[in-house]
């Protein structure tokens, strides 16, 4: 069993570190304080959209939710001889994914959190979508660049729909309403870079 803090515990620690009450966060998100509590206790998994809304509301990077709350700020991977050069290494077995509603998983790819950048991998099972129930398209902060590694992802935009296969890339301002879904029959793997203002 992993000793890493759960996603809920990490979200709670980030909220508390910023001095935001659960009730205040709930009001910002338009959900109940009970729902915030359930997410923080891992009773309920947030969707991709809800996770992005939480990080935006707290003013934190998506990569912060992958980092254990007591993690050292320095380079990882035991490469002590590289620390002086600011080089970080994370081995594959050290990168713990987080599982969201619908079975979507995110895994941070950058060895250390880098302010202003989120670099991560997503895996969408068949039928999974980044949405809030029937809310449809959503937007968040930053500029997004995605590359499909395997399978097929559909990116829905206000007036268009783009189907991406392995090797295809897309970029757009996150302020453009969008939704990502896997309409295929195989899991879709993609890498994403979100640049924050």
For residue 183, tell me if it sits in a domain.
yes
Within-domain flag for 136: yes
**Residue 73 clears pLDDT 70, i.e. is over it:** no
Is 78 within the bounds of a domain?
no
For residue 96, is it within any domain? Answer: yes
- What band does 119 get if pLDDT is binned at 50, 70 and 90? very high
Burial 97-126 (b: 16+ CB within 10 A, else e): bbebbbebbbebbbbbbeeeebbbbbbbee
Number of domain units in the chain: 1
Which pLDDT score is estimated for 5? Answer: 72
* Average pLDDT of the residues in 73-102: 67
Domain-embedded: residue 75: no
SS3 106: strand
CA count, 13 A, side-chain hemisphere, 182: 23
Q: What predicted TM-score, i.e. pTM, was given to this entire model?
A: 0.80
- What is the reported pLDDT for 189? 97
Give percent of the chain with pLDDT exceeding 90.
54
d(CA 184, CA 113): 32
β-strand partners of 70: none
C-alpha 54/C-alpha 128 separation (Å) is: 20
Domain that holds residue 163: 7-68+88-195
Q: What is the CATH number of the domain that holds 118?
A: 2.60.120.10
Strand-strand pairing, 105-108 and 161-165: unpaired
């Amino acid at each position: 069993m992993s000793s890493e803090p759960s996603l809920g515990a990490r979200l709670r620690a980030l909220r508390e570190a910023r001095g935001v009450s659960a009730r205040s966060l709930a009001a910002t998100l338009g959900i109940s304080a009970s729902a915030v509590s359930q997410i923080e206790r891992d009773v309920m998994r947030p969707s991709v959209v809800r996770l992005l809304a939480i990080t935006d509301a707290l003013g934190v990077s998506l990569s912060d939710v992958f980092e254990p709350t007591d993690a050292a700020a320095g380079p990882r991977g035991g490469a002590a001889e590289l620390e002086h050069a600011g080089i970080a290494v994370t081995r594959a077995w050290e990168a713990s994914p987080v599982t969201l509603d619908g079975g979507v998983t995110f895994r941070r790819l950058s060895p250390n959190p880098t302010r202003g950048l989120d670099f991560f991998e997503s895996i969408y099972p068949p039928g999974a979508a980044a949405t809030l129930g029937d809310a449809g398209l959503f937007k968040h902060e930053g500029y997004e660049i995605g590359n499909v590694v395997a399978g097929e992802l559909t990116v829905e935009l206000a007036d268009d729909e783009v189907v991406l296969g392995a090797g295809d890339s897309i970029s757009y301002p996150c302020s453009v309403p969008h939704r990502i879904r896997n309409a295929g029959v195989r899991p879709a793997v993609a890498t994403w870079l979100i640049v924050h203002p």
